Amino acid sequence: MRWSISLLLLILATPAWTQFSANAADSSSVPTNRSAHDQWFGQDKAHHFMVSAFLTGFSYYAMKQEFAQTPATASVSAMSFSLSAGVAKEIYDAVSGKGMPSCKDIVADVAGVAVGFLLLNISSF
C-alpha cells in the first residue's frame, strides 16, 4: 500500500500534468528539427516514465488482489499491459499526426515499468 501512495504523490507533484493543451498546428509551432524537439530528459519523457510506473503498479494490484493471480502472473501481466499502453500511444502518434512517435518515449516507458516493478518488489519485503 505504501508504494501506491508514493507513486500517487510523485505523479501529483509533477506540475506538468496541468499543462496539457491542444494548440492549433501552424507553421510556427511545428518543430523544424526533430532531434531538438525530442530530448532525452524532456517533460514528455517524465510523463511517459510516470504513467508507465503507475500503470505497472495499478495493474499489478488489480491482477493480484482483484483477480487473485499469483505474484508471477500478476507481474508479467502488469509489465505487459504497461508496455502495451506505451507502444499503443506511439502508434497513435504515428497514425493520427497529432503527435510525433519517438523511440525515446518507448525507452522512458521501459524505465518506468522497471522502476514500477522494482517498487513492487521492494514493498513486498
**Does residue 121 carry a pLDDT above 70?**
yes
CA atoms in the 13 A half-sphere facing the CB of 46: 11
Rounded to whole angstroms, how far apart are CA atoms 119 and 97? 35
Q: What is the pTM of this model?
A: 0.70
- How would residue 122 be classed by pLDDT, with cut points 50, 70 and 90? confident
- How would residue 3 be classed by pLDDT, with cut points 50, 70 and 90? very low
For residue 72, the model assigns a pLDDT of: 93
Rounded to whole angstroms, how far apart are CA atoms 118 and 122? 6
Domain boundaries, the chain: 44-125
Amino acid at 76: V
List the one residue out of 43, 51, 108 whose CA is nearest residue 85: 51
Rounded to whole angstroms, how far apart are CA atoms 108 and 104? 6
Average pLDDT estimate for 110-114:
97
